[in-house]
Structures are given as structure tokens and as C-alpha cells.
Structure 1
Amino acid sequence: MNPIPENELERLLKLSELDLDYTGLKLSFQDLTKLAAKVAGTDISLINLIDSYTQWSIASFGIDVEQMPREDSVCQYTIAVPEEDHGFEVKNLAADDRFKDKFFVKDDPHLRYYFGVPLKIAEGVNLGALCVLDKEYQDITPEKREMLELIAGEVVNRIKIQFAISQLHGKIKESNKVKNRVAHDIRGPIGGIIGLAEIIQLQGDANKLEEVLDFIKLIQKSGKSVLELADEILSQDYGKDNKKLPTDQEFTMGTLKQKLEDMYSPQALSKSVRLEVSYKDDNADIPFPKNKLMQILGNLISNALKFTPEEGVVSVTMEMEVLDQDKILRFEVSDNGVGMNEEKIKEITDGKAVSTQGTQKETGFGFGLNLVSHLIQGLKGKLEIESEKGKGSKFKVTVPLK
């Protein structure tokens, strides 16, 4: 029985709020894994973040690993330990029924010792774990445990700082756009006001009262239009500029496709399933906010892979529709797996999905699709599911961008 934290959905929501790029964090945390291994006296150290289906190793020392199924990890136990335990230790993985048949114990690197410290982002909320591992037993003294807890705290601090910097970049960029747009768009109306005032001044005594009143009305009208324009500009989303390059907080269809392939092709390969990601060329170069899209699509892809048999296909299609000031993102994740009945579909759309085993008896944790449903609702989007037992499933996601 795999452990599940009591507050699992809250934990997953907290992780999704950070909108982390699991594959792009190595340089920021590499020094901390090396430090943890040196402190513990072990050959290996990892910083692992755990989502609904996958353990992502965002930094490592002594071993080259990027991800593994959550059900195979030892850190899944670390994130579920009571806070007063101050970590999770396994002195001999080969002698523990929970881990003795895992590939990293039976095969190279033949690991034996494990000690993990939760990465606590808030009271009782663990994003993952800092862990140290070795081929031989190691004695982690209370002093070493305390130092590892301090390193784990620094990992969390850096995650928070990265999130804050990302948010700040977005605000600065938005502020600059507002400033530039205001400067450009109000130049014309203000120029008109100045021109009318100059006409009045040049005509001097030759001005007739009726003409002056007409000019004043035009000035008032132009002034009002400037105010309305300023209000419009300040309330707009400036992600609609077709020509600009994507920022760190944005995707294009091409960059999203590449990211999905990089992150989920290993999972597909391990199950002998073909993962196909494609997008329609119309509007493919227009940037759009990341807005939890990796969490939504990643969970749907992992779920599809879980229920697709060997030699099956999981297909992801993406497109953007531009409607004047608005955009609509549409995604489809389909598979030719085991399919679902109407009752199961209703559970998912109601946010009450429960776990079931995959085609290779993979353990389910029951929160991936609940998280997807919650995130889509938060984006004012829509989730539609088409499925039939034995004929696969299709998840359709629509996300509006104002």
C-alpha cells in the first residue's frame, strides 16, 4: 500500500501554484545536493519533487536521474511521515519488503541505505524530499540530521525565491508594456487637444464665441477619450501582441510541444507506448501565459500513459484560436487504452476521481485527475471527456485567455 499524505490535494495544489519547470532547475540546486552528500558521507544525494504520478529529480549528485514513477520512489514515504519524525530512514533497502524488489535495489546501483528529509513549503505541506543514499549503511547522527534539515530548508527558500523572481519579472514586464502603450496611444488625442488650444490662441480676438465653445467641447471630448483610453489600456492583457517573443512566463505552441516531449517521452518509452505531440500552425508563434498548463497536460499525459497498453499511442494535439482581443487554447489528450464507463467519467468531471491500477499494475494515487479538474476550473476553462470501455479515452481542455 503506497502512502498518501492526508492533505494530498492541498499539497498538489501548492506545488502547481509554483508552476515550476522541473527540468530547468538543476543549476540552481546542484550545489545543495553535493553539500548534502558531503554532510551525510554518502555517495548519492537527490532533491526530488513529487507530483500526482511522477518523482522529478530537479538536482542530483553521484547519480544521473531525472524522473521515476512515484510508486517506485522511496521519497513518497518521506513526504507522508509525521512532522515530529524529522525524516524517513531505511537502513537496508534490500531487507525491506517495500523496497527490496525495486530496480535501483536489485540492479545497478544496488542501493542499500536511504535517509530523506521533507521539503516543507508550509505547515504540514511537503513538496518532495532531500534524500541521501548509499550502497552501504551510513550512520546519520543527530548533528548530521540537523544539518540536512537546514539544507532542506535552503532548498525550499530557493524555490520560493525563484517563484518570487518569476512573479516580479512578470509584473515588471507588464508595467513596461503599460507605460509604452500609454505613451504611444495617448500621443494622438493629446496632440489634438494641443492643436485646438493653439488655434484658439492664434485667432485671438478673431475668435467667435460659438467657435470657442465648439473648440472647448472638442477639447473636453478629446480629454474624455484620453481617460477612457487610459482605463482601457490599464485593464488589458498585453499577451495579445502577435510579434513579441515569449518570456520565461510564456509558451508558444512550439516551446510547449518541446517541453512536453522532453518531460514525458521517457515515461512513454518505459511502457513501450508512442507519445505524439502536434499543434496547428495557425497562430503557433503567438506567446501565451504558462498558467498551470504543464500541470494540466502533464497529469493528463501521465494518466493516459498509465492506462495505455504496450505498443499503444498517446496523442496530444494543441491549437490556439484568436478572437479579437481574446484567445482560446484547445488541447486534446487521447489514447487507445482501456477506456472508461460513464460513471468513471462523472467522477472525474465532478472532481471525485478515485485511484485504479494501470495496464502494468501501476499504483494510482487518485489525485491527478482531481487536480486537473480543479486547475481547469480555476482558469475558467472546460474539461470534456469522451471514452468507451476498451476503446480508449479523449480529454478535451478549453482555456480562455482574456
Structure 2
Amino acid sequence: MKQPIPKNEDERVWALTEFDIDYSDSAVLLKDLVELAAKIAGTKISLINLIDTYTQWTVADFGLPIEQMGREESVCQYTILNNEGFEVKSLSSDERFKDKFYVVDNPNLEYYFGIPLTTNDGFNLGALCVLDTTAKEISPEKVELLKIVAKEVVNRLATIKYIQGLKSKVNQVHENNKKMAHDIRGPLSGIIGLAQMVTDQGQSQKLDDILEIMKLIHRAGKSLLDLATEILNAEDQHARGVIQTSDFTLINFKDKLEKLYTPQAASKHINFLLDIKVGQELKPIPKNKLLQIAGNLITNAIKFTPQNGTIKVDLSIRTDSNAKHFLEIIVSDSGVGLTTQEIDEILKGTKASSNGTTGEQGYGFGLSLVKRLVDELKGNMSIFSEKGNGAQFKITLPQ
């Protein structure tokens, strides 16, 4: 059965990515709303689901502890097709859902009603849905209340995005201050050196007037140099404080990827390995869009790796000859591999979607999304593969 795809799918997924949501760490901010939705509808279960290219992520739940499922398995994929509510009065009688695991097995769901989570720009990020094991009737008044709750969910996500933006701007100001201090240090060091040279020459030639002026220049320049050093030290102390409070390191990154994607790999009996370069576990890194980049690569690898295959993720920080630091993410798989033409299409953002090794449906935006995100962060994406011999995706991001 062909999977439903919104007409604005590429823009919709990009809008979701711009929110930069940590799917494993949002429940506390939305827990009251998902519980309120269930109480309004009078249902046993309520979920807040966000839908990316491959996966439906449950970021808050009431009555059914679930974290994710393949997008092609979900009911909410139909809810995001338009801006109206979507209702299924009998999941067990509907050809689209009667064989799904949540209908034929525990919790044996029967009723579904979903409201799309629509941004001000008209993009449906996912759905607020209420579910039950028996038939239900939801009055028009309750539907309107559920729409209000759905709108508040989007408002909270937008607020989180805004706060993250403010933090980024604050960090940028600190970086600009550091750059300014460095820029000051260079010419000041030159002035001081010149002044010292003229002072030395003046002493040998007994040019008292020049000597006195140069002493003043030397003293003033050194004072400014000390000030610039003080600014740098203050910024470094602040940076250390930010690291302690945000505390996002390579090991945190690894742990989140394990939590989010181990279930997907396990469901296909794929050996999923993650590794950090020895000694770099506590290296601090900016969290910006990392989960979206690595997540899409991992899910894509799962899609195109056969059962009992292997996927390995390597994380490291490397330093180039100019002492610049780069985060390196390498995702390798033992899957079906890529031709040279397919690699070229991915890097150009023109690669069309295709089905996975066990018939997983493609939605067409995963790898082009990664390429777009990497470009936005001024990074680099390389692909090494041969048809039939697996693939390796290497992402390099300046830090």
C-alpha cells in the first residue's frame, strides 16, 4: 500500500528540523498537555507524536508508554495530510490499520482521533492524538478543546526553539568578544615590539625625547595587552561555565543515539555499534542539529542494511594543521551499497527515495535533508561506497 505523503513534505520535514527537538528529552515540557487531552476526550490514552522522514517519535504520552514506531506503521501519518482532525472509529475494521501490531496485539487499540500540530506557517509537525480500546464519540465541543491543546503544544515547541536561539546568540556574542580580543592582541603586540625596538635604539643614541615618548607608548600598549588578556581569560572562564551547565559531550551524544535508534536496529536484528575515540568521551560539543543529522543517517543505514547486518557509528574530535577543531561523525553499514551515480545524486540533493531491504517505505527527504543541514553548519559530507558492499557516510563539522 502506497504511503500517504503531504504535498509540502520536503518543507514540512525541514520545518520540523528547524525546531531542533531532542525527541528523548521533551516529555517533561509537554506532560500536562498530553494528560489534559486524554481527560478532555475521555480516552485511556493520549500521545503527542512528531513525524520526521522515517520515524514517528512520541515525545509525550499518557496511558501508553511508547517512544517511537516506523512512520509507515502509524495512524498519525494520515492526520498530517491536512489541517482537519482525522478519526478512525474502528481500527480493527479499517483495511489500513487492522493488521497493525497495536491493533492485533496489546494494547488492542480500536479508536483513534488526531489533531495535526500545525505551525503558523502551515506545516504539520505531527499530531496530538487520543486513543482507546473501545468505541468512542467525541463531541464538536471537545474537538475544539483538543484543537486548543494542540495549538498550545506547538506554542511550547516554538518557545523552546526561541530559547535555544537566544542561547546561540549569547554564545555568538561571547565568540565575537574572543575574536575582538584576539584581534586587539595582534597589533598591540606589534606596537609594543616596535616601541621596545625604538626604545633600545634611543638608549644607544641618547635621544632623550624619543626615549621618553617610547616609554609611554610601551607602557600604554602593555596595559592594553593586559586588558585584552583579561578579556580572553574571562571568556574562557565563562565558556567553562557554559560547558558545565549545558554538559553536552560526546558521551551524551552517544547515549542519546543509543536510546533513540537501538530499538529500530533491534527490530531488524541489526548489530548497532557506537564508538568514541579514546580519551574524548567528555569533549564538549554544540548540540545544534546533531541529532537530526546523525539520526537520519542511522535510520537510512537501518533501512538499507539487511537483517543480521552491522551498523557502526564513530564519533571523534579532530584538529587540523591550523589548530581548528572538527566534529567527525562516521556512519558505516554492511548494507546494499550505492553506485557512483547514486552518490552523486545524494550530494547534489537529487536522489529519489527507494524502498528498504525488507520493503520499508521511502519518503524521499532523508539524505538530502542531511546534506542541507551539513551545508547550513558549514560542514562537509563525504560518501564512500560500492554497490553490494555497504556504505560509509562521513560528516565533518567545524567546532
CA distance in 2, matches of 1:239, 1:356: 50
CA distance in 2, matches of 1:101, 1:87: 23
Which residue number corresponds to residue 49 of structure 2?
48
1:274 to 265, 271, 275: 271
My pick for the range that moved more, 159-168 or 64-73, is 159-168
- Structure 1 runs not aligned, ≥5 long: 197-206
Q: Give secondary structure in 2 for the equivalent of 1:277.
A: strand
1:343 equivalent to 2:341? Answer yes
**Structural mapping, 1:367-378, within 5 Å:** 367-378=365-376
Give how far 1:137 is off. Answer: 2.0
Q: Give secondary structure in 2 for the equivalent of 1:22.
A: coil
1:67 equivalent to 2:51? Answer no
CA distance in 1, matches of 2:395, 2:184: 39
Which residue number corresponds to residue 218 of structure 2?
218
CA distance in 2, matches of 1:243, 1:39: 44
Give how far 1:175 is off. Answer: 5.6
Which residue number corresponds to residue 388 of structure 1?
386
Which residue number corresponds to residue 198 of structure 2?
none
Which residue number corresponds to residue 294 of structure 1?
291
My pick for the range that moved more, 40-49 or 160-169, is 160-169
My pick for the range that moved more, 164-173 or 12-21, is 164-173
Give how far 1:75 is off. Answer: 0.7
May I ask how many residue pairs the two structures share in their alignment? 378
**Paired residues of 2:265 and 2:272 also in contact (CA < 8 A):** yes
Using a 3 Å threshold, how does the CA distance of structure 1 residues 238 and 365 change in structure 2: closer, same or farther? farther
Give how far 1:104 is off. Answer: 0.8
Using a 3 Å threshold, how does the CA distance of structure 1 residues 66 and 321 change in structure 2: closer, same or farther? same
Q: Deviation per CA, 1:37-91, whole angstroms, max 9, x where unpaired?
A: 111111110000111111110111111100000110111111112x3xx211111
Give the TM-score normalised by structure 2.
0.85
**Paired residues of 2:380 and 2:395 also in contact (CA < 8 A):** yes
Which residue number corresponds to residue 15 of structure 2?
14
Using a 3 Å threshold, how does the CA distance of structure 1 residues 360 and 240 change in structure 2: closer, same or farther? farther
Q: Give secondary structure in 1 for the equivalent of 2:116.
A: strand
Which residue number corresponds to residue 112 of structure 1?
110
Which residue number corresponds to residue 202 of structure 1?
none
**Structural mapping, 1:229-240, within 5 Å:** 229=228
My pick for the range that moved more, 318-327 or 336-345, is 318-327
Q: Deviation per CA, 1:215-237, whole angstroms, max 9, x where unpaired?
A: 2332564477579x59x969xx9
Q: Give secondary structure in 1 for the equivalent of 2:328.
A: strand
Which residue number corresponds to residue 89 of structure 1?
87
CA distance in 2, matches of 1:142, 1:239: 57
Give how far 1:342 is off. Answer: 2.0
Give how far 1:108 is off. Answer: 1.4
Give how far 1:170 is off. Answer: 4.4
Which residue number corresponds to residue 134 of structure 2?
136
Q: What letter is aligned with 1:214?
A: M
Q: What letter is aligned with 1:47?
A: I
Give how far 1:159 is off. Answer: 1.0
Give how far 1:153 is off. Answer: 0.8
Give how far 1:280 is off. Answer: 0.8
Which residue number corresponds to residue 311 of structure 2?
314
1:23 equivalent to 2:24? Answer yes
**Paired residues of 2:91 and 2:112 also in contact (CA < 8 A):** yes
Q: Give secondary structure in 1 for the equivalent of 2:72.
A: helix
CA distance in 2, matches of 1:353, 1:173: 36
**Paired residues of 2:333 and 2:390 also in contact (CA < 8 A):** yes
CA distance in 2, matches of 1:108, 1:353: 38
Using a 3 Å threshold, how does the CA distance of structure 1 residues 276 and 178 change in structure 2: closer, same or farther? same
Q: Matched residues, percent identical?
A: 46
CA distance in 1, matches of 2:244, 2:386: 39
**Paired residues of 2:178 and 2:232 also in contact (CA < 8 A):** no
Q: Deviation per CA, 1:175-215, whole angstroms, max 9, x where unpaired?
A: 678889999x999x9xxx9xx9xxxxxxxxxx953333212
Q: Give secondary structure in 2 for the equivalent of 1:285.
A: coil
CA distance in 2, matches of 1:238, 1:338: 47
CA distance in 2, matches of 1:265, 1:240: 36
CA distance in 2, matches of 1:329, 1:68: 29
Give how far 1:297 is off. Answer: 0.6
CA distance in 2, matches of 1:33, 1:329: 36
Which residue number corresponds to residue 262 of structure 2?
265
**Paired residues of 1:284 and 1:320 also in contact (CA < 8 A):** no
Using a 3 Å threshold, how does the CA distance of structure 1 residues 332 and 246 change in structure 2: closer, same or farther? farther
CA distance in 2, matches of 1:130, 1:400: 37
Using a 3 Å threshold, how does the CA distance of structure 1 residues 172 and 388 change in structure 2: closer, same or farther? closer
Q: Give secondary structure in 2 for the equivalent of 1:286.
A: coil
Using a 3 Å threshold, how does the CA distance of structure 1 residues 242 and 276 change in structure 2: closer, same or farther? farther
1:353 equivalent to 2:351? Answer yes
CA distance in 1, matches of 2:241, 2:87: 53
My pick for the range that moved more, 300-309 or 333-342, is 333-342
Q: Give secondary structure in 1 for the equivalent of 2:213.
A: helix
Q: Deviation per CA, 1:81-133, whole angstroms, max 9, x where unpaired?
A: 2x3xx211111112221111111111111111111111112322111110011
CA distance in 2, matches of 1:226, 1:178: 19
CA distance in 2, matches of 1:400, 1:182: 20
Give the TM-score normalised by structure 1.
0.85
Q: What letter is aligned with 2:367?
A: L
Q: Give secondary structure in 2 for the equivalent of 1:101.
A: coil
**Paired residues of 1:253 and 1:284 also in contact (CA < 8 A):** yes
Instruction: Give RMSD over aligned pairs.
Output: 3.3
